Structure 1
Amino acid sequence: MHFQDQTFNQSIVALSHHYQHGFEEPLHQHRVSQLLHITSGVLRVYIEQQCWVIPPHRGLWIPTGIPHRLLAVGSVDVKTLFFDPLARADLPDVCGIFQVSSLLRELIISATDIEPPILPGTRDERLLELVLDELRTIHLVDFNVPLPYSSDLAQFCQRVQDRIEHPWSVSDAAALLQVSERTVSRKFHHETGLGFGEWLRRSRLLKSMELLAQGYSVIQTALAVGYDSPSAFTAMFKRRIGLAPTEYIP
């Protein structure tokens, strides 16, 4: 864990990491902004009441001072860029997942090969400036599963995630919590910002990404997250991710 108590005297510091499956990094925060770019495997990042899942070829932006913890799913290779928060006035100030363009990917890889000091007027300085320019083009999206904060709803959601293949419904939650379906729906939306159906779809999608990263086949993954038809699962996955599961598998 870097730059928790210190900053640095250059605009960007780039590092490479390899995490074995199951590796956990405890809750921490940085005094600088952070970009995580996954090249293989899946990284699960917990930020406040949300779980972000970063698949290959995407990045997660974490602004300065945001507490977070990490969990590696599969064998994970990640490029981490730390940014001086004063490097540019227009650096994003919210968390978000984004598609890493071909140019930005190559710039990130090149940046990890740079060793300090960064001398003015050099290729290394110009390369890092181009990274900052490319950050202006990224489009951050929500790619996370919000977690409820009340204990009863949180316990129900954990039960759902433990048996994600089950055909869960709002009526299941109402029966288990001994309240009306209307009360469950209202409370669920209030605490997560999502309806239960969308929350369940996101949970299944993110779980499927993790399973694919661990080597599960498309059929195995579809069944494991509650789809009877691999074709229905493939259609959902491609609609949400932009790639078919067979294209996604690293």
Structure 2
Amino acid sequence: MDILFIQTDTMNSTPAATERKLFDLADLESSALAVVGVVARYEAGQVVPEHRHRRGHLIYAAEGILRIEAATGRWLVPPTAAVWLRPETPHRLMTPVTVQAQGIYIREDVAVDLPFEDCVLHVSPLLRELINAIAHLEDQHTQSRRTTLLGDLLVEELRSKPRLPFHLPWPVDPEMQQVCQALAHDPSDSTTADMWAGRLAMSTKTFYRRFQRSTGVTFGKWRQQMRLMSSLAMLLQGTPITRVALSSGYESHSAYATSFRKQFGCSPSAFVAASETEL
């Protein structure tokens, strides 16, 4: 079943009175419109269990940051980006901070012209406004010239957007999954490849080979990407950059900033400024 969990915002109620509502998206996805959307608010720490959609799914965090998990990898969605998931891709959502999210669902016959792989795409000011307009349509079923044009333009924008480095490949190998889960749980963990190989009763050479075969990247590269991606939520919460660097396993502010710039093409402070501009 196509589902969406929405955390109801109840400012004047106690936490115990906060309601979690379950919405069936089957009706929305059966709309005559090629492109439809929804708006959802999630509280910090909320998890949306694994589910899938018949349509292609574009997930955008208008406020906050979302983590999307699928068999093929992990993605982070800051306000400058959106995750594209192909039709029928099983995934779950996690919210490190409070998030205002917008979901766009693109009919299967239209989605075939979009990226063949799940990925993160840049959200330009135009794409942001298109997502917002479609997600807030009062009628997600009646076709009109405006709804058709909005959908067509959004799809055209998606075709031209570059992919962004907010993707963390996830291994299928159970032992390598064990390693990745432990490191993702504690980004500052400094356990070396030699140590992991010893724990798993294999040679270091075998560990390196199996890790790269299962993830597509080296152990060192994967850990660096994981640390940098894990640090984004702290940055957006206003944590001082030096504290973010140390919590992410870096020895200094400068070492963290250098790695951050190589991965994302800007400094940590510029990333925060750009994200705040999008809000």
Shared fold, TM over 0.5: yes
Aligned pair count reads: 249
C-alpha offsets along residues 106-131 of structure 1, whole Å, 9 cap, x if unaligned? 2212222322254433x333222211
Aligned equivalents of 1:48, 1:10: Cα separation in 2: 29
Mark the CA change 1:185 to 1:129 in structure 2 (over 3 Å): closer, same or farther: same
**1:62: Cα distance to partner?**
0.8
Aligned equivalents of 1:230, 1:52: Cα separation in 2: 24
Aligned: 1:235 with 2:258: yes
Aligned: 1:27 with 2:28: no
Aligned equivalent of 1:191: 214
Per the normalisation by structure 2, the TM-score is 0.82
User: Structure 2: 5+ residue runs without aligned partners?
Assistant: 5-23
**1:159: Cα distance to partner?**
2.5
Match of 1:120 among 139, 144, 151: 144
Match of 1:136 among 159, 178, 187: 159
Mark the CA change 1:198 to 1:4 in structure 2 (over 3 Å): closer, same or farther: farther
Aligned: 1:36 with 2:30: no
Aligned equivalents of 1:226, 1:138: Cα separation in 2: 32
Aligned equivalents of 1:49, 1:119: Cα separation in 2: 35
Match of 1:3 among 25, 28, 39: 25
1:3 corresponds to which letter in structure 2?
L
**1:244: Cα distance to partner?**
2.0
User: Structure 1: 5+ residue runs without aligned partners?
Assistant: none
Aligned equivalents of 2:74, 2:99: Cα separation in 1: 17
Per the normalisation by structure 1, the TM-score is 0.90
* Pairing of 1:81-230 with structure 2 (within 5 A): 81-87=104-110, 89-116=112-139, 117-121=141-145, 123-141=146-164, 143-230=166-253
**Coordinate RMSD, CA, aligned:** 2.0
1:184 corresponds to which letter in structure 2?
F
Aligned: 1:245 with 2:271: no
Aligned equivalents of 2:26, 2:173: Cα separation in 1: 30
Aligned identity (percent) is: 29
2:58 corresponds to which letter in structure 1?
L
| SS across alignment from 2:117 | coil
C-alpha offsets along residues 71-113 of structure 1, whole Å, 9 cap, x if unaligned? 0111112111111112365133321101111211122122223
C-alpha offsets along residues 117-156 of structure 1, whole Å, 9 cap, x if unaligned? 54433x3332222112212212234532223333333223
Query: Does structure 1 conserve the Cα–Cα contact (< 8 Å) formed by 2:43 and 2:99?
Result: yes
Query: Does structure 1 conserve the Cα–Cα contact (< 8 Å) formed by 2:165 and 2:264?
Result: no
* Pairing of 1:57-96 with structure 2 (within 5 A): 57-87=80-110, 89-96=112-119
Aligned equivalents of 2:263, 2:179: Cα separation in 1: 25
Mark the CA change 1:115 to 1:149 in structure 2 (over 3 Å): closer, same or farther: same
Moved over 4 A (4+): none
Query: Does structure 2 conserve the Cα–Cα contact (< 8 Å) formed by 1:13 and 1:81?
Result: yes
Query: Does structure 2 conserve the Cα–Cα contact (< 8 Å) formed by 1:4 and 1:28?
Result: no
Mark the CA change 1:142 to 1:220 in structure 2 (over 3 Å): closer, same or farther: closer
Aligned equivalents of 1:152, 1:88: Cα separation in 2: 35
**1:220: Cα distance to partner?**
1.0
1:125 corresponds to which letter in structure 2?
T
Mark the CA change 1:107 to 1:231 in structure 2 (over 3 Å): closer, same or farther: same
Query: Does structure 1 conserve the Cα–Cα contact (< 8 Å) formed by 2:170 and 2:177?
Result: yes
Aligned equivalents of 1:232, 1:179: Cα separation in 2: 31
Aligned equivalents of 1:188, 1:16: Cα separation in 2: 38
Mark the CA change 1:15 to 1:71 in structure 2 (over 3 Å): closer, same or farther: same
